[in-house]
Amino acid sequence: MKATISIPVGVAYGENEALPANPEASDIRVAIANLVHSFPGGVAALAKRSGVSANTLQHKANLNNDTHHLRVDELQLLQRATGDIGPTHVLAAAEGYVCIRVNPVTPTSLLDGHARVISALADMTQAVRDATESGLPVTRSQNNRVEFHQGELIGAINALGAMVRARMPGNQGKPQ
């Protein structure tokens, strides 16, 4: 098995250094506008649900307005209200990262942790096979299923590492 390492543009070693093969991220302002304007019921419904002024939200999500900007805490509030973290995906992609929800369960033993990792890998492999085996384009639902199982696998791996780290003398589970 070979590892691949991508170095972000800001810390690349030299001008001739190959840059990471990350897709071009879309504009954060477009992602925010999509988040706000695609909410069922529109801007007014989202404003009411998130406790923000509809007029202010309209201005902050307007791509033609350069004077009103969404603060980070407001973006977080809107993402929680909608359940859509599209703007966070755009921000992460711009720096060469991805966002995946993880829900780790603490293993009780090495064998339990290993079994959880293998089970999560099997579930993700099955989801990928189901999505791609037909040769047809992958649907949003199939992609969501694959991403869910990616998160479960990453969570299982991280939980297994945390269990090992927690058993280090004098470490009390703190990361190195």
Amino acid 170: pLDDT: 79
Q: Cα angle vertex 80, ends 70, 138, to 5°? A: 105
99 or 169: whose pLDDT is higher? Answer: 169
8 or 53: whose pLDDT is higher? Answer: 53
18 or 175: whose pLDDT is higher? Answer: 175
CB 32 within 8 Å of CB 61: yes
- What is the pLDDT confidence band of residue 17, given thresholds at 50, 70 and 90? very low
Residue 114 predicted with pLDDT over 80? yes
Amino acid 143: pLDDT: 92
Going by C-alpha positions, the residue among 68, 85, 66, 65 that lies closest to residue 77 is 85
Going by C-alpha positions, the residue among 109, 121, 126 that lies closest to residue 156 is 121
Average the pLDDT over 16-32 and give the result: 62
Residue 94 predicted with pLDDT over 70? yes
- pTM for the model stands at 0.58
Average the pLDDT over 95-104 and give the result: 79
Q: How far is 96 from 37, CA to CA, in rounded Å?
A: 27
Please provide residue 57's backbone torsions phi and psi, each rounded to the nearest 5 degrees.
Answer: -60, -40
